[in-house]
C-alpha cells in the first residue's frame, strides 16, 4: 500500500483497542425515562463511576445541571459535559463512529439515525454527532454519511477488516430500503475499511426494538473469538432462533480460514414488563474498556455469576464489572446500548483536561 493509499484507507477499530473516552447521554424529563427517572439515573451513575476508572467520560444532556448534580462525586478532570438537546439516551446508536488510518488520523463518521427504522422520534439525536464535532470534541476530520442509516449497535469490527452484523437490521426497509444487500455491504466496507462482512440471519430477541442489533446477540470479543447468546431450553420461545444463529456462528471462518473460538453466554431468565411482554435481556450487551469489561447483570445470581465467569475466561487480564441493568431493560436496552467509546488519541486534548 502506498503512502497515499495509507492516508486514504480508514478502518473501524475494534472495541478492545485503547480508548480515550466513553460517551453517555443522560436521561431527562423529556425522554421515555421520565416515569422512572430516579431509578435510571442511579443506574447511569453506577455506569459513569465504572467508566471513569478506565477512561474519560463525556456526558451530553439538554441541561447539564442535573447531570453534574447526579455525578458530583466524580472528579472534574475525569468527566466533560456538553449541553446538547436529545430525544433519548441510546448513545451507541446515534453516537459518532470513529475510524482511523495507518498514520493515526481520525474521521468522525456521522451516519443518519432515524429511530431504528422510524419507530421513534430521532430528530435531536441525529444532530448530536455534528454538534459534538462543532464543539471540537475530536481531533478528527468530519465525514458526512447522513445519506446512509447506520447505528453503532448494528455492527461489530475486529479492527482488521472484518465486520459482523445481522440481515434483519441492516436490510430493514425503513433504514436503507432502496439498497440491496450487496450495495449495503459495499457502503459499509468503503466507510469502515472492512474487507468482508459476516451476516447473521437468525436470533431475534422478544421486545427488541432495534431489529436484532448484533450487540444484543453476538460479539467479536477478540480477533479470534465470538461470544454469543446461547439457549439450551427447548421450552424457551427463543430456542429455535438462537439455535439457528448458533449454527451460523459455528460455521463462520476467520480471514485466514480458521474457525473462530465460539463461546456461548447464557440467556437470562425471562424478564417481563408490566403488560406481561418479555424484555430483551442479554449478557452480550457488554462494554469493553481499557483493562475492564462492564457487563450487564439482572439480579439473577446463578446466571449473572456464570456469565461473569465466562467473561473472565475470555478477558483474563481485564477487571469484570457487573452493572445491574434492570432499569435499562425496562426501555428495551442495556449497557452497551447507552455507551459509545472513542479510540485513543481521537479526542481533543482540551476535552481531556
Q: What is the pLDDT of residues 127-156, one digit of tens each?
A: 999 999 999 999 999 999 999 999 999 999
- Mean pLDDT, rounded, for 109-119: 97
* CATH number of the domain where residue 73 is located: 3.75.10.10
Flag whether 349 is in a domain.
no
Does 3 have pLDDT greater than 90? no
The pLDDT score that the predictor gives to residue 8 is 79
Confidence band for 353, pLDDT divided at 50, 70 and 90: confident
Q: What is the extent of the structural domain holding 46?
A: 3-343
Q: Say how many domains are in the chain.
A: 1
Flag whether 55 is in a domain.
yes
Flag whether 314 is in a domain.
yes
Flag whether 177 is in a domain.
yes
Contact 335, 325 (CB under 8 A): yes
Flag whether 174 is in a domain.
yes
Does 81 have pLDDT greater than 90? yes
156-187 pLDDT, tens digit per residue, is 999 999 999 999 999 999 999 999 999 999 99
pTM above 0.85, yes or no: yes
Flag whether 14 is in a domain.
yes
Amino acid at each position: 500500500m502506498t503512502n497515499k493509499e495509507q492516508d486514504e484507507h480508514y478502518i473501524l477499530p475494534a472495541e478492545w483497542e485503547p480508548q480515550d473516552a466513553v460517551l453517555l447521554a443522560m436521561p431527562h424529563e423529556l425522554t421515555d425515562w421520565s416515569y422512572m427517572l430516579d431509578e435510571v439515573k442511579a443506574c447511569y451513575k453506577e455506569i459513569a463511576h465504572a467508566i471513569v476508572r478506565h477512561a474519560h467520560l463525556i456526558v451530553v444532556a439538554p441541561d447539564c445541571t442535573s447531570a453534574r448534580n447526579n455525578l458530583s462525586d466524580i472528579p472534574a478532570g475525569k468527566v466533560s459535559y456538553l449541553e446538547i438537546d436529545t430525544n433519548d439516551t441510546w448513545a451507541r446508536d446515534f453516537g459518532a463512529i470513529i475510524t482511523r488510518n495507518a498514520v493515526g488520523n481520525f474521521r468522525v463518521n456521522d451516519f443518519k439515525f432515524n429511530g431504528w427504522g422510524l419507530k421513534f422520534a430521532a430528530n435531536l439525536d441525529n444532530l448530536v454527532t455534528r454538534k459534538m464535532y462543532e464543539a471540537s470534541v475530536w481531533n478528527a476530520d468530519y465525514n458526512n454519511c447522513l445519506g446512509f442509516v447506520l447505528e453503532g449497535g448494528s455492527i461489530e469490527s475486529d479492527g482488521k477488516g472484518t465486520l459482523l452484523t445481522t440481515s434483519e437490521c441492516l436490510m430493514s426497509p425503513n433504514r436503507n430500503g432502496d439498497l440491496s444487500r450487496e450495495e449495503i455491504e459495499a457502503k459499509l466496507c468503503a466507510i469502515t475499511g472492512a474487507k468482508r462482512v459476516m451476516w447473521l440471519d437468525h436470533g431475534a430477541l422478544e421486545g427488541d426494538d432495534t431489529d436484532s442489533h448484533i450487540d444484543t446477540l453476538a460479539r467479536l470479543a477478540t480477533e479470534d473469538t465470538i461470544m454469543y447468546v446461547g439457549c439450551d431450553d427447548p421450552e424457551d420461545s427463543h430456542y429455535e432462533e438462537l439455535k439457528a444463529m448458533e449454527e451460523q456462528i459455528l460455521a463462520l471462518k476467520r480471514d485466514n480460514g480458521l474457525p473462530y473460538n465460539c463461546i456461548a453466554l447464557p440467556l437470562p431468565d425471562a424478564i417481563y414488563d408490566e403488560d406481561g411482554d418479555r424484555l430483551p435481556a442479554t449478557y452480550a450487551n457488554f462494554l469493553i474498556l481499557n483493562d475492564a469489561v462492564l457487563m450487564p447483570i439482572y439480579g439473577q445470581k446463578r446466571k449473572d455469576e456464570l456469565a461473569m465467569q465466562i467473561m473472565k475466561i475470555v478477558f483474563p487480564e481485564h477487571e469484570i464489572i457487573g452493572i445491574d441493568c434492570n432499569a435499562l431493560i425496562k426501555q428495551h436496552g442495556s449497557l452497551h446500548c447507552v455507551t459509545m467509546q472513542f479510540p485513543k488519541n481521537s479526542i481533543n486534548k482540551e476535552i481531556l483536561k
